[in-house]
Amino acid sequence: MRPAATGPVLVLRALGVGDLATAVPALRGLKAAAGRRPVVLAAPAWLAPLVRLTGAVDRHLPVAGLAPVRWPVPPGCLAVNLHGRGPQSHRLLRAAEPATLYGFACPAAGHRHGPAWRRDEHEVRRWCRLLGWYGVAADPGDLSLLPPPAAPVPGGAVVVHPGAKAPQRRWPAARFAAVARELAGYGHQVVVTGSLGEAGLARRVARRAGLPPAAVLAGRTGLGELAALVAHASLVVSGDTGIAHLATAYRTPSVVLFGPVPPEWWGPPPRPQHRALWRPVAAAPPAGGAGPHPALRAISVAEVVTAALALAR
């Protein structure tokens, strides 16, 4: 780490659960290189429980995306852009008046010093490569989170998570329900998770699967409780969304359904307890992104059930 910068290491990663989880190796590399200098992470306030579980952040600075910030750090710090390739994120960090900015090359932001951005690169390796270019070592396999605090969540459950931020990444709810029904029929305790905004979707899936109302945990678990649920689950079945990365972090068996983005960009590491299902197709996506991507629609219920039964512990 360059000696020109003094004070804290200011890191920007103002995104979601999966984004933070995939940045853990980079954060750990920065923490190791920082020595006694504190690592300050700028990330949304609601991610606080997960920020603590990284074990690599000394101070969490709540931010709302890339909205302007009055940075509470002294000029001359080291700023690290783990958010994107710029120019907006670069400019936001430049406002902190850092001595040095680590980021991908972005002439539009006046930042020509840095590696080139690659679109077809796994998200974990992307940020490790960035830091490596600046002489900071980061291990892409260092994905584990600290043990979550004890929480009143069921242990050994199969977690079915039908939601995702983008409609194109949501496998049809009826198929999630069919998978949940099959797994419950084999004697597994199945719970359905999601955000508060996905509670209606979770209830529909549970009803179609014949699960009791108590099986719906969507909107009833905070992020720390969700981490505890996943850490002690027997299996997670989900699309390409944040909970899949929690399963990776806790080495919980998982079946993750991908589309439109391939697992080579966002998938779990090659471990026997994780199965990434991906069926690339040439069909055009739904108009306006209103429904599941054709790559997701090509994945059958039978494929998911077979993978789930092989992995459930």
Q: Are residues 248 and 177 in the same domain?
A: yes
Determine how β-strand 9-12 pairs with β-strand 78-81: parallel
Q: Are residues 195 and 103 in the same domain?
A: no
Residue 227 lies in a domain: yes
Residue 89 region by backbone torsions, left for phi larger than 0, else alpha for psi between -120 and 50, else beta? alpha
The angle subtended at Cα 109 by Cα 107 and Cα 115, nearest 5°, is: 50
Other CB atoms within 10 Å distance of the CB of residue 270: 8
Nearest to 279 by CA among 307, 252, 251: 307
For residue 32, what is the domain's CATH number?
3.40.50.2000
Helix (H) or strand (E) holding 90: helix 88-94
| Cα–Cα dist 30/136, whole Å | 7
Nearest to 253 by CA among 167, 302, 183: 183
Read off the DSSP letter of residue 152.
S
Of 133, 166, 191, the residue that ends a domain is: 133
Helices (H), 140-252: 173-185, 199-209, 223-231, 242-249
Nearest to 215 by CA among 150, 154, 151, 148: 154
What pLDDT shows up at residue 291?
85
- Number of H-type helices and E-type strands within the chain: 12, 10
Q: Are residues 96 and 192 in the same domain?
A: no
| Cα–Cα dist 192/209, whole Å | 10
What pLDDT shows up at residue 3?
41
Determine how β-strand 190-192 pairs with β-strand 235-239: unpaired
Q: Are residues 17 and 65 in the same domain?
A: yes
Cβ distance 202 to 192 under 8 Å? yes
Residue 276 lies in a domain: yes
Residue 249 lies in a domain: yes
What the block records as the tokens of 98 is 């850092």
What pLDDT shows up at residue 117?
97
Q: Are residues 198 and 306 in the same domain?
A: yes
Q: Which domain holds residue 15?
A: 9-133
What pLDDT shows up at residue 172?
96
| Cα–Cα dist 115/127, whole Å | 11
pLDDT in tens, 301-313: 999 999 999 998 6
Residue 177 lies in a domain: yes
Domain count for the chain, please give it. Answer: 2
Sign of the CA dihedral with 244 first, then 249, 254, and 260 last: positive
For residue 18, the Cα-to-chain-centroid distance in whole angstroms is 1
3-state secondary structure of 115: coil
Residue 152 lies in a domain: no
The per-residue pLDDT string of the chain (313 residues; one tens digit each, 9 = 90 and over) reads 544 456 899 999 999 999 999 999 999 999 999 999 999 999 999 999 999 999 999 999 999 999 999 999 999 999 999 999 999 999 999 999 999 999 999 999 999 999 999 999 999 999 999 999 999 999 999 999 999 998 899 999 999 999 999 999 999 999 999 999 999 999 999 999 999 999 999 999 999 999 999 999 999 999 999 999 999 999 999 999 999 999 999 999 999 999 999 999 999 999 999 999 999 886 555 555 578 999 999 999 999 999 999 998 6
What pLDDT shows up at residue 285?
53
Q: Are residues 44 and 80 in the same domain?
A: yes
pLDDT in tens, 97-111: 999 999 999 999 999
For the whole model, what pTM was predicted? Answer: 0.94
Q: Are residues 165 and 266 in the same domain?
A: yes
Q: Are residues 66 and 198 in the same domain?
A: no
Q: Are residues 280 and 188 in the same domain?
A: yes
Q: Are residues 122 and 249 in the same domain?
A: no
Cβ distance 22 to 53 under 8 Å? no
